[in-house]
């Protein structure tokens, strides 16, 4: 069974966005993520912020990148739910860690936080409904 057939077979809430909508939202968010994350890492390389400020960015990046292979490769709803909770939590951590250095970077994470909040509720609902 292909990943899309598998995903379509899952019990999902009625408000689940179409895969094309999900893809569109990520196409908007990824440039924001790239610019802000790259900016912070460059500032750390230039020693304008401590390296510890980059830690939540690094953890978030890894957790974000492994979500798709976990969800659609391993087809593990439980691990995907745990992973998206890490993504969500690290966005908050990012906003707190960078606030005193670059508030614009913290504010720029708001759309990312909003979308991942929706995605987290969706993932937890799908996980629960297909337990």
Tens digit of pLDDT for each residue in 59-96?
999 999 999 999 999 999 999 999 999 999 999 999 99
Low-confidence winner among 1-10, 28-37, 45-54 (lowest mean pLDDT):
1-10
Q: What is the mean pLDDT of the segment spanning 4-13?
A: 95
Specify the pLDDT at position 123: 98
DSSP calls for 28-68 = HHHHHHHHHHHHHHHHHHTTSS-GGGGHHHHHHHHHHHHHH
pLDDT band of 19, cuts 50, 70, 90: confident
Q: Residue 55 burial by CB count (10 A; 0-12/13-18/19+): exposed, middle or buried?
A: middle
Q: Would the pLDDT of 27 be above 90?
A: yes
pTM: 0.95
Tell me the two tokens of residue 47: 């020693």
Tens digit of pLDDT for each residue in 104-125?
999 999 999 999 999 999 999 9
Question: Could you state, in order of their start, the residue ranges of all structural domains in the chain?
Answer: 31-129
Distance set, CA 56 to CA 1, 80, 107 (Å)? 36, 19, 16
């Amino acid at each position: 069974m292909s990943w899309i057939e598998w995903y379509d077979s899952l019990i999902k809430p009625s408000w689940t966005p179409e895969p094309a909508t999900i893809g569109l939202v990520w196409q908007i968010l990824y440039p924001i993520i790239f610019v802000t994350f790259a900016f912070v890492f460059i500032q750390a390389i230039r020693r304008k912020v401590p390296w510890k400020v980059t830690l939540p960015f690094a953890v978030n990046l890894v957790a974000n990148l492994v979500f798709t292979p976990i969800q659609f490769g391993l087809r593990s709803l439980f691990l995907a739910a745990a992973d998206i909770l890490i993504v969500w939590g690290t966005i908050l951590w990012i906003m707190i860690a960078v606030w005193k250095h670059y508030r614009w970077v913290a504010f720029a994470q708001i759309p990312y936080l909003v979308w991942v909040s929706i995605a987290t509720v969706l993932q937890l609902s799908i996980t629960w409904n297909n337990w």
